[in-house]
Structure 1
Amino acid sequence: MGDHHGHDDDGVHDHDRGLQFDMSTLMSRRRALQLLAVGGLSVGGLAAIVGCGSSSPAAGTTAAATTATTAATTATDVAAVPEETAGPFPADGSNGVNVLTESGIVRRDITTSFGAASGVAEGVPLTIEMTILDIARGGAAAPGAAVYAWHCDREGRYSLYDGEIASENYLRGVQEADGSGRVTFRSIFPAAYSGRWPHIHFEVYPRLDEATAAGAKLVTSQIALPDDACAAVYATAGYEQSATNLSRTSLATDMVFSDGYSTQLGTVTGSVSEGMTVRLNVGV
């Protein structure tokens, strides 16, 4: 698997180059997000104010006072998901190919390729469920927002970039949030490749048409997959190399998650035999 991941058609080790290159971008993005949070500025029209707790009415507070407190509370019940690197393989037009403007990218099932491609990603079934929450409105659901999600396959390769699957576009898709702010993708559990904790990339856009035009993003971030779920999946056939790679890293040492992952660690339910679901609330 390590021989597959991170090599483009020219044989350059993009993964290593990308991680090093993205470190400066990652840190500057996080610093910018923190400054915006402190200053009360907005990101794509939504205030990126990082919450750090919730307000609970004291005993005996009247219903009217409780309502007033709730209405006055903004961004204290939901924390903003941190800005992260998109990595070297986003396919959003920022690093080569742009899959977002292609017909067929808006879909729920991302296990298969679309358009002229016909590949299918094999692996343990995984449903990815994200709920987009508007921090400027006290953590209310953000219906109509759009999410572009992508991740590597069972072998640790990214479609549209790795030489062996450069003609495929599976494990990439866009969904519009429903009335509850929820988006759902049907996928497979990604591999753990060398140097990174298992993760899922995503970008949040204010509207679907903004996403499919590769327009202005609200945030780029990543979902961290919990250790117990990874261990269970990587004990199955096809994920042998992932088990080895997982043993060599941790959330505490991962270059993306080591500075804190409380708002990025997904909750996983289900089983290997029946499929799993990872859920994450995403404050933007």
Structure 2
Amino acid sequence: MTGNQPKHKKDLTRRKVVVAGAGAAVAVGAGGTLAASGAFAGETSTSAAASSSSTASEACYKLTSETTEGPYYIDADKLRQDITEDKEGIPLTLRLKVIDSETCKPIADAAVDIWHCDALGIYSGYESSSTGGGTAPTDAPSGTPSGTPTGEPPSGAPTGGTGGGVHQEPTDDERYLRGTWKTDKHGQVTFRTIFPGWYRGRCVHIHTKVHVNGEWTDAGYEGGNTCHTGQFFFDEESVLASAEVEPYSTSTTERTTLTQDTIYDQSGTTGGLLKLKYNKKNIAKGVIGSLTMGVDPDATNDNN
């Protein structure tokens, strides 16, 4: 998108993903197919892995929980798998699969959006209004965040199971840690990013949307419906480990735990809890997170 303040589009039948800038790591052919400019270094194809491991007996997944899109969604304008840009943090490879929860069949050619805050709780596009950061507010505790905060979530936390704030218009042109990519024939898509930080009132999480029944064109993705709006979550062990690593360790923002969070429904993978792999002695080397999302491709779940 261009312009100072891209507007949030509620009419997703006119939704477009525009290939942005000279740095876009994608080529869109006349036939509407996408080609990455290069595979992630040292990483095998998840498509190949899927074809070798998937079997006809693969279990169906329940419908993945729908949640609020939150106040910081921007209609995707970055068609890319590596959304890191220059942000510091623990490397995170996010491997997702989208399937029809009724038939168990993978959903190919879906547009998957992800977006999340940086290591200090700041969202691109909303740097002036995000509630994270490495500088403590006047009423915040000092030092490394506690692993087990007590009491109710801090003031300003959303209330209710699907709360999280009304959409806000962007305040700046930054778009780091945001991106969209296309699922392959196995329903899989992989993103390269960083382990998110935390901000006041929420546990560590990543936002996602899945768009289906649209068309990939020279301009990107058009039409269709948003069949899923959700969030991915991280277990407490991984978050506590990340809090020992810079720049996360410099944050003085009070942290909300997974069990305190008012958005996560405590249902495990159905609720968006990622399956994580990392070196327990050195999380700084990187994390692989994976999840299968069971969706209803005929549903509309904007949750905005």
Q: TM-score, normalised by structure 1?
A: 0.62
User: Could you tell me which amino acid in structure 2 is paired with residue 185 of structure 1?
Assistant: F
1:95 aligns to what? Answer: none
Is 1:124–2:131 an aligned residue pair? no
SS of the aligned residue for 2:254 comes to: helix
- Flag the 1:209–1:149 CA change in 2: closer, same or farther, 3 A: farther
Contact 2:204/2:234, CA 8 A, preserved across alignment: yes
Is 1:110–2:100 an aligned residue pair? no
1:266 aligns to what? Answer: 274
User: Could you tell me which amino acid in structure 1 is paired with residue 191 of structure 2?
Assistant: F
1:276 aligns to what? Answer: 287
1:27 aligns to what? Answer: none
1-structure distance, mates of 2:252, 2:197: 9
Pairs within 5 Å for 1:65-144: 77-92=60-75, 100=76, 102=77, 105-112=78-85, 120-137=86-103, 139-144=104-109
Contact 1:224/1:261, CA 8 A, preserved across alignment: no
1:188 aligns to what? Answer: 194
- Flag the 1:202–1:147 CA change in 2: closer, same or farther, 3 A: same
Aligned residues: 193
Contact 2:97/2:291, CA 8 A, preserved across alignment: yes
2-structure distance, mates of 1:133, 1:173: 20
**Comparing 169-178 and 156-165, the one that deviates more:** 156-165
Please point out which of 236, 256, 261 is paired with 2:263: 256
2:211 aligns to what? Answer: 205
- Flag the 1:206–1:79 CA change in 2: closer, same or farther, 3 A: same
SS of the aligned residue for 1:108 comes to: coil
User: Could you tell me which amino acid in structure 2 is paired with residue 232 of structure 1?
Assistant: A
Deviation (angstroms), 1:209? 3.9
2-structure distance, mates of 1:148, 1:91: 10
SS of the aligned residue for 2:102 comes to: helix
Contact 2:82/2:191, CA 8 A, preserved across alignment: yes
Residues 56-90 of structure 1, C-alpha deviation per residue, up to 9 Å, x if partnerless?
A: xxxxxxxxxxx9xx8xx9xx821111110010001
2-structure distance, mates of 1:282, 1:174: 16
Deviation (angstroms), 1:259? 5.4
The alignment yields a C-alpha RMSD, in angstroms, of 2.6
Deviation (angstroms), 1:269? 0.6
Deviation (angstroms), 1:187? 0.2
2:246 aligns to what? Answer: 237
- Flag the 1:214–1:106 CA change in 2: closer, same or farther, 3 A: farther
Deviation (angstroms), 1:147? 0.5
Contact 1:176/1:208, CA 8 A, preserved across alignment: no
Please point out which of 214, 222, 237 is paired with 1:228: 237
User: Could you tell me which amino acid in structure 2 is paired with residue 136 of structure 1?
Assistant: E
Deviation (angstroms), 1:215? 5.4
Residues 15-62 of structure 1, C-alpha deviation per residue, up to 9 Å, x if partnerless?
A: xxxxxxxxxxxxxxxxxxxxxxxxxxxxxxxxxxxxxxxxxxxxxxxx
Deviation (angstroms), 1:179? 1.8
Unaligned runs of 5+ in 2: 6-55, 130-170, 296-304
Deviation (angstroms), 1:111? 0.6
2:119 aligns to what? Answer: 154
Richer in helix (by share): 1
- Flag the 1:215–1:243 CA change in 2: closer, same or farther, 3 A: farther
Deviation (angstroms), 1:142? 1.3
User: Could you tell me which amino acid in structure 2 is paired with residue 236 of structure 1?
Assistant: V
Runs (4+) of structure 1 exceeding 4 A deviation are 241-244
Unaligned runs of 5+ in 1: 1-8, 10-66, 93-99, 113-119
2-structure distance, mates of 1:162, 1:183: 28
Contact 1:143/1:180, CA 8 A, preserved across alignment: yes
- Flag the 1:106–1:208 CA change in 2: closer, same or farther, 3 A: farther
Residues 212-239 of structure 1, C-alpha deviation per residue, up to 9 Å, x if partnerless?
A: 4475200100001111111111111211
- Flag the 1:240–1:135 CA change in 2: closer, same or farther, 3 A: same
1-structure distance, mates of 2:179, 2:63: 23
The sequence identity of aligned pairs, in percent, is 33
